[in-house]
Amino acid sequence: MDPNACWRELSKAVKNDDWQRASSHADDLLEWLGKGGFAPHITGNQAFDRIVARATCVAVASWEVA
């Protein structure tokens, strides 16, 4: 898995109000991170990127999709 590509797709889905797709990408990235995969490059600070990615994905994955 490419967490950077997944993060970009998650971001696009949120921007386009495609919550089902965003939730799917969030689940995928959470699974990746949970298995010890590296975080997407967001800020350049690897430890902070892991926190931001995980928190964002948890929030997006928990949203109810209508």
Compute the distance between CA of residue 32 and CA of residue 2 in angstroms, rounded to an integer: 9
Model confidence band, residue 64 (pLDDT cutoffs 50, 70, 90): confident
Q: What is the pLDDT at residue 63?
A: 81
Please name which of 60, 65, 66 lies closest in space to residue 27, comparing C-alpha atoms.
60
Q: Is 25 in contact with 10 (CB distance < 8 Å)?
A: yes
Compute the distance between CA of residue 48 and CA of residue 65 in angstroms, rounded to an integer: 28
pTM of the model: 0.90
Cα→Cα distances 46→2, 16, 18, 51, 53, Å = 15, 27, 28, 9, 10
What is the Cα 16 distance to its own chain's centre? 15
> Could you read off the pLDDT of 9-39 as tens digits, one per residue?
999 999 999 999 999 999 999 999 999 999 9
Q: What is the pLDDT at residue 29?
A: 98
